[in-house]
Amino acid sequence: MLKSGKLVENSYGVISKTDSIVTLMKDAEASQYGYLLTNKIEFLKLYNNSEKKVMVLLRETEYLIADHQMGVMTFSKIKAVIKGRLSVIKLAITNRQIVDTLSKDQVIAGMIAMQTLNSLVVQALSGEKLLLQERLLAYETFSKSILTIIIISAAVAFAISVASYTKVTSTITDLEALRKILFIKEQETTGLNEKLSAANEAITSANIELLNNNTELANSRNRLIALTNNLANQVNSRTEELALSESRFRLILQVLPQIAWTNTPEGDVDFYNQKWFSYTGMGFDETKNQGWQKVIHPDDLDFNIQCFKTIIESEEQGEFEIRERRYDGDYRCHLVKMAPLKNEEGDVQMWVGTATDIEDIKQLQRQKDDFINITSHELKTPLTSLKSTIQLIEAMQGNLTEKHLSTLIVRAGKGVNKLAYLIDELLYIGKVNEGQLNLNMERVNLMDIIRDSCSGISMATEFQINIIGDENFGVLVDPDRIEQVVINLVNNAVKYAPLSEVIDINFQAHGSYALVQVTDYGPGIPEDKLPFLFDRYYRVQMGGSQHSGLGIGLYISSEIIKKHGGVIGVNSELGRGSTFWFTFPIS
Ligand code: ADP
C-alpha cells in the first residue's frame, strides 16, 4: 500500500512539475519577446530564472517518471524540444544584442516550438493522468483491504497467544513435576555425594599408600639401576681385560720363535702364528681342520695322530717329536708340546701348542755320537796293536832275539805315537772350543818348519814329498802350530790320496803374506762338499768306504790360521787331486 501511495505521489509530482515547466517556458518565451521588442535588459531577468529552473525541474521529472516507459519516451521528446527552444531563444537574444533587429522567422520558429511543446505536454499529461487513475485505483484497493488484513492479523495473534499460554501452562506443570524429581534426585545425589566423599577419602588414603609404595619402588628401582650399571661396568672392564689378555696372548704367540697354534677343546685348530705360515708356506684355509696333516712326514703321521689323541683325551700337557715339511720340501725334526688351558672348574677351554725346530740339535747330537764312536774306534786301533805287542813281548820273554825285540819296540812306539797324536788332537779341540788357543810367536825359517813336518811322514810312507820355496824365508809364527797345520794337510793327502805317489809343497811371499800350498794328485773332493770341509766333525763320505779320522783336523787347522790372522782354503777337482792352501802375515 505504501508503494502504491508512493506511485500516486510520483504521478502527482510529474503532473505538477510538467505544469511548472510549461509555465516557466512560457515565462521565458514572453521575457524573450519583451527583450526582442524593447531591447530592454530587465525583460531578460525572467528568462534567466526560467532557464535554470526549467533545467532543475526537467531532472526531477526525469527521476519521477523513470518507472513509466511511455512517460519516459514522451518526456525525452519534451526535453529535446525545450533544450532546442532554449538554445534558439539564447541565439535570438545574442543576435538582438549584436544586430539590434527582430527576425520574423525567429518569431515563427518560436511559436511552432511552443505549439509542439504544448501538444507533447498535453500528451504527457493525459498519459500521466491515466496512470494516476490506475494508481489511485490500486491505492484504494489496498486501503480497503488493509482493515481485513488487520483483523486477520489480530485473530492470528490471539490464537498464537492462546496457544502460547496453553503451552506455557503445560510447561510450568511439567517444570513443577521436574522440580519435584529434581528435588528427589538432589536428595539422592546428596546421599551419593556423602558415599562418594567417603570413597574419596578411602581412595586418597589408598593413594597416599600407593605413593609411598611408589617412592619405595622408585628407590628400589634406582638401587637396581645402580647395581645393574655397576655390574655392566664390571662386565665391560672384565671383557676389556679379557680382550686385552686375549690379544696379549695372541701377540706372545706371534712373537714366539717357534711354531705355535691353538685348538678348540675338541682339538680343531683355530689359530696359527705367523711362524707356521712362513715355515710351511701354506695359508690358514689350506691347513685348518685336518689340513696340518699334509705337513707331517708320512712315516710320522700315524704316530703324530696317536700322540695328539692321547694328549687331548688325557686333558694334560704332553709332547712328542715328529718331522715337519718346510716350504722348500725339507723335513726338519720338531718337538711338539701341547698344554690345555682350563677354567676354575677344571674344564678345558682351549689347547695351546708349540713346535720347536730341533733339527740342528739332533744333527749335533748325531755328530757327537758319531764323534764318540769314531774316537773310540780311532783310539782302540793303536791301543789294540800296542796291547798285542806288549802281550807278545811278555809271552816270549827270554826267547826274543835282539832284532825281533827292537822291531816289536818300534811297532809299540808307533802305536804310542798314534795314541799320543789322537789324544793331543782331542785335547786341542777342547782348547779351541773353549777359546784357549794361545800362540807362542817366534821368528823362524819357514823351510825348516815344513821340512820338520814332513820328515816323519816321509820315513813312514812311500810318498815322494817335493818342497819348493825360499830356503831363507823368515816368518813370525808359532812354529809348533804351523807345523801341526802342515802335518795335518800332508797326513790328509797321504790318507785320502793314497795313489797320488807325489805330494808337492810350495811356499812363497804374497805381498805381506806368506802362502803355503799342499797339493796331491788323488781322487779330489766333490764341489758341494768343499764349503763344509773346515767345519767341526765334518767328514766326507765317499764311495761308501769310511776313511779313518775324527773330522777335526781341518777345523783345528783353520782355527790356528785364523788365530795367526790368515786364511785357509782348498781348490779341488774330482779325479785330479786337491790343493789345500793357507796364508798368514809374514811379520
Ligand atoms: P779327519 O780327521 O777325518 O781326516 P779332517 O778335518 O782332517 O778330518 O778332514 C775332513 C775331511 O776332509 C776328511 O774326512 C776327508 O774326507 C776330507 N779330506 C781332507 N783332505 C783331503 C784330501 N787331501 N783329499 C780328499 N779328501 C780330503
Q: pLDDT in tens for each of the 587 residues of the chain?
A: 788 888 889 889 999 999 999 898 888 888 888 888 888 888 888 888 888 898 899 889 988 888 778 888 888 899 898 888 888 888 888 887 777 666 777 778 788 888 888 888 898 888 889 888 988 998 888 888 877 888 888 888 888 888 888 888 888 888 888 889 889 888 888 888 888 888 888 888 888 888 888 888 889 889 989 998 998 899 888 888 878 787 888 889 988 999 999 999 998 998 999 999 999 999 999 988 889 999 999 999 999 999 999 999 999 999 999 999 999 999 999 999 999 999 999 999 999 999 999 999 998 888 788 788 878 877 888 888 889 888 888 888 878 888 888 888 888 888 898 889 888 888 888 888 788 888 999 999 999 999 999 988 887 788 999 999 999 999 999 999 999 999 999 999 999 999 999 999 999 999 999 999 999 999 999 999 999 999 988 888 765 445 667 888 999 999 999 999 999 999 999 999 999 999 999 98
Q: How far is the CA of 497 from the centre of ligand 1 (A)?
A: 10
Is the Cβ atom of 549 under 6 angstroms away from ligand 1?
yes
Asked if residues 587 and 564 have their Cβ atoms less than 8 Å apart, the reply is no
Ligand 1: residue of 418, 532, 548, 554 to mutate (most ligand atoms within 8 A of CB) is 554
* Greatest alpha-carbon span in the chain: 228
Is the Cβ atom of 540 under 6 angstroms away from ligand 1?
yes
CA distance 257 to 253: 9
* CA-wise closest residue to 258 among 361, 324, 355, 333: 355
Which atom, in ligand 1's list, is nearest to the CA of 547? 14
In one-letter notation, the amino acid at residue 292 is W
Residues in the chain: 587
Q: Whose CA is nearest to atom 4 of ligand 1?
A: 549
Ligand 1: residue of 484, 489, 539, 561 to mutate (most ligand atoms within 8 A of CB) is 539
Is the Cβ atom of 497 under 6 angstroms away from ligand 1?
yes
Is the Cβ atom of 520 under 6 angstroms away from ligand 1?
yes
- Cell numbers at 338, concatenated: 701341547
Is the Cβ atom of 500 under 6 angstroms away from ligand 1?
no
Q: How far is the CA of 496 from the centre of ligand 1 (A)?
A: 7
Asked if residues 484 and 448 have their Cβ atoms less than 8 Å apart, the reply is no
- Cα angle at 357 between 368 and 349, to 5 degrees? 135
Asked if residues 25 and 52 have their Cβ atoms less than 8 Å apart, the reply is no
CB burial of residue 556 (10 Å; 0-12, 13-18, 19+): buried
CB burial of residue 461 (10 Å; 0-12, 13-18, 19+): middle
- Which value, to the nearest 10 degrees, does the dihedral of the CA atoms of residues 145, 146, 149, 153 take? -170
DSSP 3-state of 555: helix
CA distance 350 to 343: 10
Q: Whose CA is nearest to atom 20 of ligand 1?
A: 492
DSSP designation for 543: T
CA distance 68 to 18: 15
CA distance 7 to 66: 11
DSSP 3-state of 222: helix
Q: Whose CA is nearest to atom 16 of ligand 1?
A: 540
In one-letter notation, the amino acid at residue 451 is R
Q: How far is the CA of 500 from the centre of ligand 1 (A)?
A: 15
- Cell numbers at 83, concatenated: 533544450
DSSP designation for 397: T
Backbone angles phi, psi at 566, to 5 degrees: -115, -170
In one-letter notation, the amino acid at residue 32 is Q
Which atom, in ligand 1's list, is nearest to the CA of 374? 3
The residues near 36 (Cβ < 8 Å, ≥ 6 apart) are 92, 93, 96, 102, 106
Q: For 543-552, write each residue's pLDDT tens digit.
A: 544 566 788 8
End-to-end CA distance of the chain: 167
- Cα angle at 302 between 300 and 307, to 5 degrees? 90
Asked if residues 489 and 580 have their Cβ atoms less than 8 Å apart, the reply is yes
Which atom, in ligand 1's list, is nearest to the CA of 580? 23
The neighbour count for residue 127, using CB atoms within 10 Å, is 18
* CA-wise closest residue to 280 among 264, 268, 267, 296: 296
In one-letter notation, the amino acid at residue 343 is N
pTM: 0.47
Q: How far is the CA of 418 from the centre of ligand 1 (A)?
A: 17
The residue assigned the cell 782355527 is 559
DSSP designation for 542: B
DSSP designation for 469: S
DSSP 3-state of 323: strand
CA distance 87 to 32: 12
In one-letter notation, the amino acid at residue 82 is I
Q: For 270-317, write each residue's pLDDT tens digit.
A: 899 999 999 999 999 998 888 999 999 999 999 999 999 999 999 999
Q: Whose CA is nearest to atom 8 of ligand 1?
A: 551
Asked if residues 179 and 173 have their Cβ atoms less than 8 Å apart, the reply is no
Q: How far is the CA of 490 from the centre of ligand 1 (A)?
A: 11
In angstroms, the Cα distances linking 454 to 144, 462, 547 are 187, 12, 21
Q: Whose CA is nearest to atom 26 of ligand 1?
A: 496
- Cα angle at 344 between 340 and 345, to 5 degrees? 90
- Cell numbers at 213, concatenated: 609404595
Q: Which DSSP string corresponds to 56-95?
A: HHHHHHHHHTTT-HHHHHHHHHHHHHHHHHHHHHHHHHHH
The neighbour count for residue 157, using CB atoms within 10 Å, is 10
CA distance 65 to 57: 12
Q: How far is the CA of 562 from the centre of ligand 1 (A)?
A: 19
Q: How far is the CA of 554 from the centre of ligand 1 (A)?
A: 7
